Amino acid sequence: MTGTSRRYWDAIADMYQGTTRIRQDDYHYGPLVPGDRELGLLPATLAGCHCLELGCGGAQNSIYLAAQGARCVACDLSGGQLAAARQRIQEKRVAVDLIQADLDHLPFRPEPIFGLVHSSYALPFVQDPERMVREAARRLLPGGVLLFSTAHPLAMGEWVELDEGETGIFTRDYFQPELDQRLEGEAEEICRAVPIGEMFDWCRAAGLVVERLLEPRPHPRHLLDDHALREQIPYWSEDWLERRDELSRIPFLVVVRAVKP
């Protein structure tokens, strides 16, 4: 990650934390999709589990895990995001150790001490995501879980209008997805996606066994209207709700659960 990445996340920290609703009574994987109460990917026993969160933002997931009795460390590149996390931790009166860190260069000894390393949608902003997966695996205890969500390559496509008012996604090259360039003033951040097969190979090369690979989507409107969806899911904003129909047709993210033998 770069200095301009840090400036970008610092610049949007207040806006992001103010407009995005992220619950702390469930574990979230990304916008509008079900949380872990429904997906059930976290370790069965969280009490006493030593957990490391990579790219924590406001640390809502680590706060949730700490409330279940886990011992939590959470790191993020942005001081602005960590300030929001610190306030939430104080309000919830839970113990989460916060560390400001570049995810491309983790400030932890490469020794297995964690039962869970987890990350919700931070991987696509890392310059070398394969290395991050490898370094995360090195810090897992035998039987430990790596759990992450990241950008789905199809989500980098362009929505186009087809015949008779129909819409669909257009991608120039699935194997080299378009970059999602984000600007805030003079600060820039880049979101990168890779083919799903590459993610699988990263885990295998790191000595992990992939147990689950999900492409979650919002519940359809005939089962949950927008109001009910807001009440049920752990992560949403009004901007994301405007994209609900799109995200119900094309997966926005991938969730991977891998275990260290």
Q: In this predicted model, what pLDDT tens digit does every residue of 34-54 receive, in sequence order?
A: 999 999 999 999 999 999 999
**pLDDT higher than 80, residue 84:** yes
Q: Which CATH number applies to 3-31+43-259?
A: 3.40.50.150
Structure tokens at 177: 């997805």
**pLDDT higher than 80, residue 193:** yes
Greatest CA separation found in the chain?
A: 58
pLDDT for res 107 = 86
- What are the CA-CA distances from residue 162 to residues 143, 170, 187, 244, 246 (Å)? 48, 10, 35, 19, 14
Name the strand (E) or helix (H) holding 228: helix 226-232
Q: Which residue has the higher pLDDT, 257 or 159?
A: 257
**pLDDT higher than 80, residue 3:** no
Indicate the burial class of 129 (C-beta count within 10 angstroms; 0-12, 13-18, 19 or more).
buried
pLDDT in tens, 205-247: 999 999 999 999 999 888 899 999 999 999 999 999 999 999 9
CA neighbours closer than 13 Å in the CB half-sphere of residue 164 = 0
Cβ–Cβ < 8 Å for 224, 18 = no
- From 122, 120, 137, 153, select the one nearest 258 (Cα to Cα): 137
Where in 122-179 does DSSP place strands (E)? 140-151, 158-161, 167-170
**pLDDT higher than 80, residue 2:** no
Q: Which residue has the higher pLDDT, 29 or 104?
A: 29
Bridge pairing between strands 253-259 and 140-151: antiparallel
Name the strand (E) or helix (H) holding 12: helix 3-19
What is the pTM (predicted TM-score) of this model? 0.94
pLDDT for res 1 = 63
Structure tokens at 32: 């509008």
Cα dihedral 224, 225, 230, 233 in deg (nearest 10): 20
- From 253, 26, 216, select the one nearest 121 (Cα to Cα): 253
